[in-house]
Chains A and B, each alone.
Chain A
Amino acid sequence: MGEHAIEAVGLHRSYRSRTGWLRPQRREVHAVAGVDLAVRHGELFGLLGPNGAGKTTTIKLLNTLLIPTGGEARICGFDVVRQTREVRRRIGYVFGGDRGLYDRLSARDNLRYFAELYGVPGREQKRRIAELFALVRLTGREDDRVESYSRGMRQRLHIARGLLHRPRVLFLDEPSIGVDPVAARELRQTVAELAATGTTVLLTTHYMAEADELCGRIAVIAGGRLQALGTPAELRHHADGRRVLEVQAYGVTDGQLAAIRARPGVREVSLAVHGAAQLLGVQSDAGVDVQADVLRELSGVRLGRVTARQPTLEDAYVAIVNRAAEPTPLVGGVPA
């Protein structure tokens, strides 16, 4: 076995879709356009990127659900196209959301079925399933039907299912989507424990704090290509020499955003909505104080708190993604 749990070289995947019925037009989307990855055994690796960046597609190429249109990938040294079964024996796949389970069966029946499918020996099944129910804190609810489960409970059941056959490599595609903060913290703990015991984890998420806390290394992907790769500390350097001004506002217009973006010294502008309020983030060169300029552009808009702070991983992420999207910069590319 090589030293890498996950290896990808020039990975490429395009989707063909037809639009139009009478005059069908073929359109080709390059969802993943040449990705190179090398993840070591036991690493907890994050894959970040905006919606449609190609994260899920990358994961499905690595876990054998899709066949690449170009390039190669290996899991624990086994080729994902030619040695599919060897790969499948070693991987677990968990995706976010409430699909992917048999709703009308009990949680235990779900696990029993997948244990059978994934080749967990009959003698071990009972013990393994009980172990996993304890791990994901569903003990006591084993015999309830999945349709009666809350979203967070389903998500945890998903994770238990993904771990049944003790995979060496675990793919987690937005596992914390729709999970409450307390459950999300437990989930992070579970993932960290798994990685500590030697499981390689490839995680995608839209929560920067989660990636920052968990991941040893992070790759930022946009437009099907890697835009940046490094430890969270290294990625933060992408926002080095910047300052961040945050303004809580009510009713900022697109025109005002454009005007702010055009001020000298301003590097990135993002706008996120928090309930009734908007949160305007302005990244600028550290040497320039843009606060006065920004507030002048916003004259007439009702404002809340105004704070200046050091850049975070999220700011670095915004900088990376916006740079990738040039010459048409994104507005509000940060999920709230």
Chain B
Amino acid sequence: MIAVGALLHVKQLSRSPFEIAIALFVPVVQATLAVYLFRAGGEPDRLLEAAVGAGLMGVWSTVLFGSGGAIQSQRWQGTLEMIMLAPRSPALVLLPVTLATGITGTYAMLATLAWGRLLYGIPLDFAHPVAFPVAVAGCIAGLGMFGLLLASSFVLLRHANALANMLEYPIWLVSGMLVPVTALPGWTGPVAAVLPTTWGARAVHEAAAGGPVWPALGGCLAISLACLAVGWVLMTYVERRARVAATLALA
């Protein structure tokens, strides 16, 4: 049920011309940004790492906007009520939606790498060619579960878009997708340590640039599972609140 659901949501998401345009365009911008940031920093040898970081930003923004946006657009389409009416746990109903956004996010990462290769000639020689796809998959699963946590706020609130906008940049920074976490002020450390994106990003970085992939990936998945558990409980509560507050439908 999760697999079929996720697959169909990917279909639904990937067929919107608007999303396709964004998905084509954003990675180019990100690849460019990453490359120039690092060139300016005088670290040309870390270009691949930069491209990977930029790709992760893509994944992150798809999940953040995706998991929220998907809920929002389902509210507009009137399908939110229909899926919440299923005789299943609300978290199970929405997990395929957030996973689907994680999967379309993979595309953002691969696209950024491809553009980096095409436009800037970044060589794609990964330190761990086998671990890389595994790390990416783990990262996406993690983001999907984290997305569930975010999605719960969208189910309850009719205007949660603002929240997503607010979260996007800080989380990029804190989870060290582009800038290494060690370069940020000390207080961000604990915050970063509890975000699954930090660990996911680290796993992917290390798979690309060399380093211990598995502990980071394990961390990412462990935190994601915790997110899943919290999201599950929260979602059950939120579904009930939404039925009290009448926010499942538009009007």
Contact = CB atoms under 8 A, between A and B. Distances in A.
Interface of A: 15, 63-67, 85-86, 88-89, 93, 95, 97, 99-105, 109, 112-114, 116-119, 161
Interface string B70-107: 00000011110111111110000100000000000000
Given A65-B248, A67-B243, A102 B81 contact: no
7 contacts: A15-B246, A88-B86, A93-B85, A102-B8, A104-B12, A105-B11, A113-B4
B130 interface: no
Given A15-B246, A117-B1, A100 B82 contact: yes
Contacts of A118: 86-87
A146 to B, nearest CB: 10
**Of B15, B76, B93, most A-chain CB atoms within 10 Å:** B15
Contacts of B83: 117
B12 A66 contact: no
Of B1, B16, B243, the most chain A CB neighbours within 10 A belong to: B243
Given A67-B240, A85-B88, A105-B11, 15 more contacts: A65-B81, A66-B246, A67-B244, A85-B87, A88-B86, A97-B78, A101-B79, A104-B12, A104-B16, A117-B1, A117-B5, A118-B87, A119-B86, A119-B87, A119-B88
Contact of B243 (A64, A103, A117): A64
A113 B6 CA distance: 10
A109 B8 contact: yes
A76 B183 CA distance: 62
A99 B78 contact: yes
Nearest to A16: B245
Contacts of B11: 104-105, 109
A130 B78 CA distance: 25
A199 B49 CA distance: 61
Contact of A116 (B5, B12, B79): B5
Contacts of B12: 102, 104-105
Interface residues of B, number: 27
A161 B15 CA distance: 22
Interface in B1-28: 1, 4-5, 8, 11-12, 15-16
A113 B8 contact: yes
Nearest to A115: B4
Most A CB contacts (10 A, CB to CB) among B8, B82, B83 go to B82
A17 B11 CA distance: 37
Contacts of B93: 117
A88 B85 contact: yes
A101 B77 contact: yes
Contacts of A117: 1, 5, 83, 86, 88, 93
B87 A100 contact: no
A274 B39 CA distance: 72
A184 to B, nearest CB: 21
A100 B75 CA distance: 9
A80 to B, nearest CB: 10
B77 A64 contact: no
B77 A88 contact: no
Contact of A100 (B1, B78, B84): B78
Nearest to B78: A99
Contacts of A104: 11-12, 15-16
Nearest to A90: B87
B4 A112 contact: yes
Contacts of A67: 240, 243-244
Contacts of B5: 113, 116-117
Contacts of B15: 104-105
Given A65-B243, A66-B243, A105-B8, A89 B79 contact: no
Contacts of A95: 78
B79 A100 contact: yes
B246 A103 contact: no
Top 7 closest pairs, chain A to chain B, by CB: A99-B78, A100-B78, A88-B87, A104-B15, A117-B86, A89-B87, A67-B243
A118 B1 CA distance: 10
A102 B243 contact: no
Contacts of A102: 8, 12, 77, 79
A161 B79 CA distance: 12
A116 B1 contact: yes
A65 B243 CA distance: 6
Contacts of B249: 65
A67 B237 CA distance: 13
A235 to B, nearest CB: 30
A316 B245 CA distance: 36
A319 to B, nearest CB: 30
A101 to B, nearest CB: 7
Nearest to A117: B86
Contacts of B16: 104
Most buried by A among B4, B87, B88: B87
A114 B1 CA distance: 10
Nearest to B14: A104
A196 to B, nearest CB: 25
